Amino acid sequence: MAKAKSSGMSFGAALGKNFKEIGTTFKDGDWKTRLSYVVFGFGPLMRGQIVKGITYLALEFLFFLYMIGFGWKYLSKLNTLGTVETTRVHRHTVYGDNSFLILLFGILSIVIIAAFIFIWRMNVQENMVEEAALKNGRKLPSNKKVLGSLLDHNFDKTLLAIPVLGIFIFTVLPIIFMICVAFTNYDSTHQSPTHLFTWVGFKNFANLFSFGTTGFGPTFLKVLGWTLVWAFFATFLDYFIGLMVAMLINKKGIKFKKLWRTILVITIAVPQFVSLLYVSKMFDADGIVNGFLMNAGIIKSAIPFWTDPTLAKVMIILINIWIGIPYMMLIATGLLMNIPEDLYESAKMDGATAPQMFWYITLPYMLFVTGPFLLTQFTGNLNNFNVIYLLTQGGPQSMSLTGNAGSTDLLVTWLYKMTVNDTNYKMAAVIGIMVFIVTAVVSLVVYNMLPSVKDEEGFQ
Amino acid sequence: MDNKKYASMKGKRRVNLFFCYLVLILISIIWLYPFFGIVMQSFRSYSSEYGGMVSYLIPKHFSLDNYKFLLSGKTNYVSWYVNTVIIALFTAFFQTLIVLGVSYALSRMRFKGRKLLMRFWLVLGMFPGFLTMICMYFLLKQFGLTQAGAVPGLILVYCASSGMQYYVCKGYFDTIPKALDEAARIDGATRFQIFYQMIIPLSKPIVIYTALTAFMAPWCDYIFASYVAFGNDKSYNVAVGLTRWVWTNDYQGYFTRFCAGGVLVAIPVVILFMCLQKYYVEGVTGGAVKG
C-alpha cells in the first residue's frame, strides 16, 4: 500500500514538474522555441538540426492528416457506436454506420492523440535542451551524429521500435478492443456491418454471474472450477512424477542414460497435433484400446473414455502426464546435478534413508530453484488450449451447461468456441477478462509467497 | 562374515537396479507406443484393408498407398506442407531477430520507461492469446492477408508479438559480464558493433534455442491458422489440414492417411530437434531457473 501511495505521489509531482518546465521553456525561450509549440520541430530546423526537425514536423503533419481525413469521423461516434442502421432501398443495400470500425478506429484515435501529446512534450524538451546547450557555448551534434546515435547510445530505440509497434497493433489494440466489447451487445444478432451494436454497461458481467435459467453463472463456476483443478493436477503431477523419472535415470548404476532420455524427449519433438490426435483416437469407442480389450474378452462394451465426463477429465490429466513429463525430466536432470554431493554424503553418514533424503534435501532444493517455473507452468496450464482441444474439443457436451460449454472445457477453450462457433463476442470478451483476472490473481499471490523471491540468498 | 554381508548388500542392490530397469522399460513402452502405432497404421492400405480404426496394431499387408495418396495431388497435402515449411522458416528468422534485439535492449541498455515496459508486457501476457483473434483477423483482412494470403498473414501474426517472449534470452544475456561491454566501448565500439560482433557470437546456444522453438511452434498451431485461413483449403498448414481429416465425418477413411501425413510431418522436425537437443535443454533449463 505504502509503495502504491508513494508512486502515486511521485507521479503527481512529476506531472507538476512537467507543466512547470513547459511553462518556463515558453517564457524563457526565444521566438524559434515559442513557434515550435505550434509548428513542431521549427526550432531544431532553424538551428540546423535538420533530421530531428523534419521528423517532428512530419509526425505533426501525419497526425493532422490522420485525424481530419480518417480518425475524427470514427472518434465522434464512439459514444453511441453509430446510429444509422444499414437499410435496403429498392434492392440496393445502403450501408449505415459500422459499429466495429467505429469502436476500433475510435480506440486507435484516442491512442494516437495520447502519442501526439507525448511527441509534443518531447518536441518542447528538445527545444529547451538545444537552447541551453547553445547558451552555454556548446555545439549541437551534427545530423550525421544524430543518425549515428541510433546505432550507439540510442540503439535501444532502434531495436525496440518494430517490436513495440508490432505488439501495439497485434496485441495491445485488439485487447483494448475486446475489453470494450465486453461492455457492448456485440453478438450474432448484432453483427456488423449489417447491424449496429452499442454500449450496454455491465449487463454482460451481470449475465455471467446470474443464476437464472439462461444465466451463465452455474456454467461459469463449473468451468472455472475444472480449470483450476486441471491446472493444479497438470502442474504438480507432472512436476513430481517428472522429478522421480529424472532421479531414476540419474541414479548411479543405471546404464544407457542417454537412451532413456532420448526416448522421452521424442514426445517434445513430435508436433502435438500428431501425437495428441492419435492418442485421442486410441481411446475412442472404436479405437485400438477398446478394440483390443473387447477382442481379449476383458470388457463387453466399449469403455466411454471420452463420453463420460469424469472419465474424460481423468484421461486428460493422465495423457497430459505423458506430454509433460519429458519436459520436466529435462529441466530436473540439469538441476539435480547442481545439488552439492556432500549434502547427501553427510546425510548418509547420519543414517538417512533414501525417502528422507528426497524429502529433506532434493525436494526443498528443487522447489526453491524452480519456484518461478512452477508458477509459469501453472498459469500456462490455466490457458492450455492444445491438450484439451485436440483430445476432446471440450466435450462431452452437456445439456446442463449454457453457452455450448462441454464438461472438459477450460475457460480458454470455452472462449474460443464462443468466438468461432457462436460468434457470441460479448460473452467471449467477458470470459477473456475473467481469465486475465484469474491469471493475474494467481500470479500475484503465488509470486509473493515464493521462497526464492522472499529470500534470494536462501540456497546460495 | 563381512564378506557375506557385502554379498547380500550387493544382491539387494542388484534387485533394486533390476526394478529400476523394469520401470524404465515400462516407461519407454508407454512413451513410444503411440509413435509406434502411428507408423504402423500409416502402412495400412485403404484398398486392401479397412482404412479406419481397427483393433490390431500391425497391418496385415504393408503398403505405401497412403504415402502415394498424399503425394499424388488428390488433396492439398503438398501445399499444406510447403506452407508450413515457409511459415516456419520465416518465423524462425524474424522472431529470432526480434527476440535477440529486444533482449539486448532490455538487458544491456538503461533507458526511461524500461521497467515500465517490462511490467506492461508481463501484464499483457496474462490475457489469453486468442482474445485478440477477431480484431487481428479484421486487421489482416484489410491487407488481404487472410484466406488466400494466409501464409504471409500468419508469419506476420507470429512475429508481430514475439517481442514479449524475451525472458529466456534476456536471462542468458544477463549472465554475460558487463565488463566485456565496457572494455569494448572504451576501444570505441558502438552499441551495434557490441551486439553484432560480441554478444551474438557469445550466445550461440540461446540463438539456436530461440530459432528452434520459433521454428517448431508453427507446425503445431491450429487456432490462429484455422481462423486466418478459414475456408481456403489451399492455404492451410499441416496442423489444420490433418486435424480436419481426423475430425470430419469420414475420418474412418482418412485415419490411416492422417497417420501417414503425421509421420511425414514428424520426421524432419524430430531429426532437427534431436540434432539441436543440447541447445534446447540449455535454454529450457536456464529459462526455468530464472523464471
- DSSP assignment of A275-311: HHHHHHHHTSTTSHHHHHHHHTTS-SS---TTTSHHH
Query: pLDDT-based confidence at B155, cuts 50/70/90?
Result: very high
A177 touches chain B (CB under 8 A): yes
Write the residue in B27, B220, B285 that is nearest to A272 by C-beta.
B220
How open is the CA angle A55-A61-A63, to the nearest 5 degrees? 100
Other beta carbons within 10 Å of B283: 23
B-facing residues of A in 377-406 (CB < 8 A) are 379, 383, 385-386, 389-390, 393
pTM across the whole model: 0.86
Distance from C-alpha of B158 to C-alpha of B155, rounded to nearest angstrom: 5
Mean pLDDT in residue range A336-360: 83
B163 touches chain A (CB under 8 A): yes
| Helix, strand, or coil (residue A108) | helix
Q: Is A260 exposed, middle or buried (0-12, 13-18, 19+ CB in 10 A)?
A: buried
Q: Which residue has the cell 454497461?
A: A201
Residues B249, B28 contacting (CB under 8 angstroms) = no
Cross-chain residue pair A151–B192, CB shorter than 8 Å: yes
Choice between B151 and A211, residue whose per-residue pLDDT is larger: B151
Cross-chain residue pair A331–B285, CB shorter than 8 Å: yes
Q: Which residues of B touch A291 (CB under 8 A)?
A: 53-56
Return the closest-CA partner of residue A267 out of A250, A236, A245, A289. Answer: A245
Query: pLDDT-based confidence at A32, cuts 50/70/90?
Result: confident
Q: Which amino acid is at B88?
A: A
Query: pLDDT-based confidence at A133, cuts 50/70/90?
Result: confident
Average pLDDT, chain A: 85
Confidence at residue A225, expressed as pLDDT on a 0 to 100 scale: 92
Distance from C-alpha of A440 to C-alpha of A434, rounded to nearest angstrom: 10
Q: What is the pLDDT of residues B61-107, one digit of tens each?
A: 788 888 888 888 888 889 999 999 999 999 999 999 999 999 999 98
Cell of A396: 462431452
Query: pLDDT-based confidence at A2, cuts 50/70/90?
Result: very low
pLDDT more than 90, % of chain A: 20
Write the residue in A172, A294, A425 that is nearest to B134 by C-beta.
A425
B-facing residues of A in 257-276 (CB < 8 A) are 260, 262-275
Q: What's the distance, CA A460 to chain centroid?
A: 33
Cross-chain residue pair B135–A177, CB shorter than 8 Å: yes
Task: Report the chain A residue with the minimal C-alpha distance to residue B26.
Answer: A260
Strands A92-94, A87-89: pairing kind:
antiparallel
Q: Which residues of A touch B127 (CB under 8 A)?
A: 175, 432, 435-436
Q: Which amino acid is at B279?
A: Y
B14 touches chain A (CB under 8 A): no
Write the residue in B53, B123, B269 that is nearest to A271 by C-beta.
B269
Cell of B15: 534387485
Mean pLDDT in residue range A396-412: 81
Query: pLDDT-based confidence at A460, cuts 50/70/90?
Result: very low
Q: Is the model's pLDDT at B291 over the cut of 50?
A: no
Return the closest-CA partner of residue A189 out of A99, A95, A76. Answer: A99
Choice between A63 and B4, residue whose per-residue pLDDT is larger: A63
Return the closest-CA partner of residue B284 out of A326, A241, A243, A274. Answer: A326
Q: Is A341 exposed, middle or buried (0-12, 13-18, 19+ CB in 10 A)?
A: exposed
Cross-chain residue pair A269–B242, CB shorter than 8 Å: no
Write the residue in B121, B127, B287 that is nearest to A436 by C-beta.
B127
B231 touches chain A (CB under 8 A): no
Across the A/B interface, how many CB contacts are shorter than 8 Å? 253
Cross-chain residue pair A170–B157, CB shorter than 8 Å: yes
- Mutation pick from B98, B121, B135 vs chain A, by most beta carbons of A within 10 Å, is B135
Q: What one-character DSSP code corresponds to residue B146? A: S
Residues A424, A238 contacting (CB under 8 angstroms) = no
Mean pLDDT in residue range A425-439: 91
State the ipTM, two decimals. Answer: 0.88
Cross-chain residue pair A170–B34, CB shorter than 8 Å: no
Write the residue in A264, A288, A322 that is nearest to B37 by C-beta.
A288
A258/chain B closest Cα distance in angstroms: 12
